[in-house]
Amino acid sequence: MTSQNIESFVNQRYQHGFVTDIATESLPPGLDEGVVRAISARKDEPEFMLEWRLQAYRQWLDMKEPKWPHLHYKPVKFDEISYYAAPKSDADRPKSLDEVDPKLLETYEKLGIPLHERAKLAGVAVDAVFDSVSVATTFKEKLFEVGVIFCSFSEAVREHPELIRKYLGSVVPRRDNFYAALNSAVFSDGSFVYIPKGVRCPMELSTYFRINAANTGQFERTLIIADEGSHVSYLEGCTAPMRDENQLHAAVVELIALKDAEIKYSTVQNWYPGDENGVGGIFNFVTKRGDCRGDNSKISWTQVETGSAITWKYPSCLLRGDNSVGAFYSVAVVNNMQQADTGTKMIHIGKNTRSTIVSKGISAGRAQNTYRGLVKVMPQAHGARNHTQCDSLLIGKQCGAHTFPYMEIKNSSAKIEHEATTSKISADQLFYCRQRGLSEEDAVNMIVNGFCREVFKELPMEFAVEAQALLNVSLEGAIG
């Protein structure tokens, strides 16, 4: 096995490349105050929400796209994007799965997500976001019994405006960055979760996102609040149909953990990555941030990133409460022409705060994978601890791995550790596995899964299995 062979192992068509034929009710391309007002009006939003969007829009106009990422792509033409699309049935939304457009359900089937069965079997409540409007929410009643609110963001704006007013933008301010500001102006929908004091959420909460309308930016907005002493595990997974145009995706996720609360947020991201020549694919600019606002609170991010042409994403933790704990476990796979610039920020503010970063980057084809991380210890953050482990695995000779770890330590009691490795799947490893009877492909999968094991074990069981399968699909043809 030579490394040249290794390079040609990466050519596999995107499995979820199909388009559901549902008429969408889109706004014409372009963005101005009228569009912002139209989005807000369609959602019957209260005045405060419109005002918030408009302020975000005005702030966005003054902002510039960040140029610092290690990413190369043609500039996004923001005036050619349509900022809202909803399935036709918007006005008359289904009350149960029986009322859901069968074509939608079919789409889930193709993705291997038989929603109803899956939800029942796995005990998972699914708030399915198809394009921009939630079409099905299950297990709501069971959650309602314990006081958990799990609904679409739009519904939360109408039903729980006091929570939205209090928490929206309190972790990611409107003008935090260019994409966050854009999202704040035009966000379409997303999920809202509130776990009341002392409640341990009785099931994993799960949302499947899916982009379906051509040329429509998707702007998800997620807000999760874990009140004092509560606990929640949230799963986010996405797949997208094959498209030739680049699609912009700029999501914002805000997590708030109050005193003694814990939020575990897991993502499997599989947006369309573009073809082997880098044509098409999703541009994914995401702002995810968790605020450990109370003492002893805990937030952990686990992500498996296999999709998108461009990924710009740094799920971060603000460790404000004393003894609060932040964690970031990440597997980022890039193949063909994909580019990822991803990592995390751990901001230590409270006393005795701890954070863990485990990042596993896998590059194949001609792809470029960048880890970018910041560990910041503020002057008042006595006794802060951080451990960072950052490993890169290269498959073939034409891909790249880059690491930019930043540290700003302003308290001398901090203990910060950083470990980094870069390795290649060696011909010796492959031969060893093949001599034991494994095919080359199985050998690669086994080695890659081994490399990612520390991260996979952080995922909920059924999600870990999915993630592993997804990884295998993403790297199919990476060696040959």
Partner 1 sequence: MLEINNLKCRIGDTEILRGLSLTVNAGEVHAIMGPNGSGKSTLALVIAGHEDYVVTGGDVTYNGKNLLDLDPEERAREGIFLGFQYPVEIPGVSNASLLKAAVNAKRKHQGLGEVDAFEFLKLAREKMAALNMDPKFLNRGVNEGFSGGEKKRNEILQMAMLEPSLAILDETDSGLDIDALKVVAKGINALRAPDRAIVLVTHYQRLLDYVEPDFVHVLSEGRIVRSGDKTLALELEDKGYDWVREAASA
Which positions lie near partner 1, rule CB under 8 A? Answer: 1-2, 426-429, 431-440, 442, 446-447, 449-454
Task: Please say which residue, 1 or 214, places its beta carbon nearer to partner 1.
Answer: 1
- Min. distance of Cβ 1 from partner 1 in angstroms? 6
What are residue 462's phi and psi, to 5 degrees?
Answer: -70, -30
Distance CA 450, CA 442 (A): 12
- Min. distance of Cβ 428 from partner 1 in angstroms? 5
Residue 62: left (phi > 0), alpha (psi -120 to 50), or beta?
Answer: alpha
- Min. distance of Cβ 386 from partner 1 in angstroms? 23
- Min. distance of Cβ 402 from partner 1 in angstroms? 21
Distance CA 319, CA 301 (A): 13
How far is residue 59 from each of residues 176, 306, 308, 312, measured CA to CA in Å?
A: 10, 32, 27, 21
Task: Please say which residue, 380 or 426, places its beta carbon nearer to partner 1.
Answer: 426
- Min. distance of Cβ 344 from partner 1 in angstroms? 21
Task: Please say which residue, 182 or 464, places its beta carbon nearer to partner 1.
Answer: 464
Task: Please say which residue, 28 or 437, places its beta carbon nearer to partner 1.
Answer: 437
Neighbouring residues of 360: CB distance < 8 A, sequence distance ≥ 6: 330, 331, 332, 391, 392, 393, 451, 452, 454, 455
- Min. distance of Cβ 112 from partner 1 in angstroms? 23
- Min. distance of Cβ 300 from partner 1 in angstroms? 20
Task: Please say which residue, 102 or 437, places its beta carbon nearer to partner 1.
Answer: 437
Task: Please say which residue, 275 or 476, places its beta carbon nearer to partner 1.
Answer: 476
Task: Please say which residue, 317 or 444, places its beta carbon nearer to partner 1.
Answer: 444
Task: Please say which residue, 406 or 432, places its beta carbon nearer to partner 1.
Answer: 432
Residue among 212, 316, 266, 195 at smallest CA distance from 463:
266
- Min. distance of Cβ 423 from partner 1 in angstroms? 8
- Min. distance of Cβ 45 from partner 1 in angstroms? 48
Instruction: Count CA atoms closer than 13 A to 432's CA, side-chain side.
Output: 8
- Min. distance of Cβ 363 from partner 1 in angstroms? 17
Distance CA 64, CA 148 (A): 39
Could you tell me if 153 and 190 are in contact, meaning their C-beta atoms sit under 8 angstroms apart? yes
Tokens of 178: 């260019």
Task: Please say which residue, 42 or 360, places its beta carbon nearer to partner 1.
Answer: 360
Task: Please say which residue, 214 or 427, places its beta carbon nearer to partner 1.
Answer: 427
Radius of gyration (Cα) for the chain, nearest Å? Answer: 22
Task: Please say which residue, 379 or 450, places its beta carbon nearer to partner 1.
Answer: 450
Residue 139: left (phi > 0), alpha (psi -120 to 50), or beta?
Answer: left
Distance CA 396, CA 444 (A): 12
Task: Please say which residue, 360 or 376, places its beta carbon nearer to partner 1.
Answer: 360
- Min. distance of Cβ 265 from partner 1 in angstroms? 24
- Min. distance of Cβ 335 from partner 1 in angstroms? 20
